[in-house]
Structure 1
Amino acid sequence: MRLEELKNRWRLEPGAEYRCDRNLNLYKIPDQPDLVTQAAAGYPLKITAIEPTGIRIVLVADDYPGWLRLTDLEAITPAAAPYQPPTVTRQDIEQAIPGAIAFTQAAMAVPNQYLWGGTVAPNYDCSGLMQAAFASVGVPLPRDSYQQEAFTNTIDQAELLPGDLIFFGTPERTTHVALHLGQGRYIHSSGKDQGRNGIGIDSIVDLSDPVSQTYYQQYRCSGRIMGGYKPQQAV
């Protein structure tokens, strides 16, 4: 089907807002298999460009760009109304933290593996698990671990409370994020190279496990979520 026919059939319009009718994979390049992120059913997106090889979009709730394949066009429909980010206070977050923790533990309880770009069950990457867990309790977060670090208020390791985020990486940049459970224990989705190839629990206090040791050596900082992410929605 030609591009103009696709535009007409699916009512495609750059700048228009749509919603996902099912979980969708989004790609770095439209005709390559490299996943960049995923969009859960109901997630809002905006078309920024229409090309013969794919549709360039931005996820409205977190400003994250990607490519939608032409074969997935049947899974989006025009949004009934523009996305309105929720207003979330620190008090709201404190009340939501037990639910976010419960989400990660339920995700760990089913078979899963680490998936770069994964934000929907059962397979997540590290920041995708954090984003999905807090989204499940009405707290939107930005997408990537380094963005989540910048979004939180930095706290000392000694100040960690359940629900705070722990960041790992290099001196230059965060590359991994975990959710603090209390008493130095944290839950995260980690890869095969130095993690568990899926969701597991480790510690920044008890370093008897090799995975805990590995990540402790890459500890950067900790952060506290103070509000919900407000998207720029720039096209």
Structure 2
Amino acid sequence: MTEYVFVEDTTLFDSSECGGVATQASKGRHFKVIIEHSCAAESSAVGSDAVQIRLCEDNYECWLERLDNPTVCEPATTPYQKSALGEEEVFSRMPLVLQRVSDAGQKDNVYLWGGTLGPDLDCSGLMQWAFSGAGVWIPRDAYQQHEFTQPVPIAEARCGDLLFFGDATKVDHVGMVTEVVDAAPPRLVYTHSSGAKYGRNGIGRDVLEEGDDPVGAHYARRFLSAGRVVRNVTEEP
């Protein structure tokens, strides 16, 4: 299977119609084609040149508008190689991860569905952007990050741990603990990128408690669990 590399930052989509944004890929990321448009019934039905691809770093599946565009991608000269990182190595990189989250919040930004490149990011995109910049690849979406992390009792959560939100059916939001306030019990301050309807339309900080702040209270009611990144993506699909 031919492997390709992006030669510019690229927007990727959630279907062959290329209408809804799924994610973004930075210049230098690698991918492989899963389904070419000539073989995809859905794609052929709409006459699209789109191809379904799998990003090599995090195994994320999405759609690229067209493969035969040399200004977007080209065949990779060397294949992408995943290298395993253990818990100690990941922990040693957490100061950089936390610094990246802090830096992202200092820039002008708005919430962007599918955003992973910055300055405009979505919730899980902020998490992946922060970790990948420290050389730790985690999955793309919030529910995937939930499945990937090691569960942590909320009383034992520390800076860098992820907080997951949603309902009984699915995790749909994620933030990162960026401050633990010494109290009884400890108060967790987390940074997240939230939308305009229930959140801050960008990156902000909230306390995990049902207080007077409507944004913090909304997410506190939807809090599900905490998780810790103790490895990077190494699995091959």
Normalised by the size of structure 2, how large is the TM-score?
0.88
Query: Conserved in 1, the CA contact under 8 Å of 2:10 and 2:24?
Result: yes
Match of 1:152 in 2: 149
Match of 2:58 in 1: 62
Match of 2:184 in 1: none
Secondary structure, aligned partner of 2:147: helix
Match of 2:137 in 1: 140
Verify: 1:188 aligned to 2:185, yes or no. no
Match of 1:9 in 2: none
Match of 1:207 in 2: 211
Verify: 1:163 aligned to 2:167, yes or no. no
Distance between the aligned counterparts of 1:214 and 1:205, measured in 2? 9
Query: Conserved in 2, the CA contact under 8 Å of 1:46 and 1:59?
Result: yes
Matches within 5 A, 1:18-57: 18-51=4-37, 52-57=48-53
Deviation at 1:46, TM superposition (A): 0.6
Choose the corresponding residue for 1:91, options 88, 93, 109.
Answer: 88
Question: Please, what is the CA RMSD of the aligned residues?
Answer: 1.6
Deviation at 1:72, TM superposition (A): 7.6
Secondary structure, aligned partner of 1:112: coil
Query: Conserved in 1, the CA contact under 8 Å of 2:210 and 2:220?
Result: no
Match of 1:5 in 2: none
Match of 1:219 in 2: 223
Distance between the aligned counterparts of 1:165 and 1:155, measured in 2? 9
Match of 1:76 in 2: 73
Quick one: which amino acid aligns to residue 81 of structure 2?
Q
Deviation at 1:71, TM superposition (A): 8.1
Query: Conserved in 2, the CA contact under 8 Å of 1:17 and 1:78?
Result: yes
Quick one: which amino acid aligns to residue 56 of structure 1?
Q
Q: Quick one: structure 1 residues 95 and 39, their matched pair in 2 at CA, closer, same or farther if it must change by over 3 Å?
A: same
Deviation at 1:220, TM superposition (A): 0.1
Q: Give 4+ residue runs of structure 1 displaced > 3 Å after superposition.
A: none
Verify: 1:131 aligned to 2:128, yes or no. yes
1:76-125 Cα shifts (integer Å, max 9, x gaps): 11112221112211111111111111111111111111111111111111
Query: Conserved in 2, the CA contact under 8 Å of 1:61 and 1:231?
Result: no
Paired residue total: 219
Normalised by the size of structure 1, how large is the TM-score?
0.88
Query: Conserved in 2, the CA contact under 8 Å of 1:31 and 1:53?
Result: no
Deviation at 1:31, TM superposition (A): 3.5
Distance between the aligned counterparts of 1:58 and 1:212, measured in 2? 35
Distance between the aligned counterparts of 2:68 and 2:106, measured in 1? 30
Match of 1:102 in 2: 99
Distance between the aligned counterparts of 2:138 and 2:68, measured in 1? 25
Secondary structure, aligned partner of 1:132: helix
Structure 1 unaligned regions, length at least 5: 1-14
Distance between the aligned counterparts of 2:235 and 2:8, measured in 1? 22
Deviates more, 1:47-56 or 1:130-139: 47-56
Q: Quick one: structure 1 residues 72 and 114, their matched pair in 2 at CA, closer, same or farther if it must change by over 3 Å?
A: farther
Distance between the aligned counterparts of 2:205 and 2:161, measured in 1? 15
Deviation at 1:70, TM superposition (A): 2.4
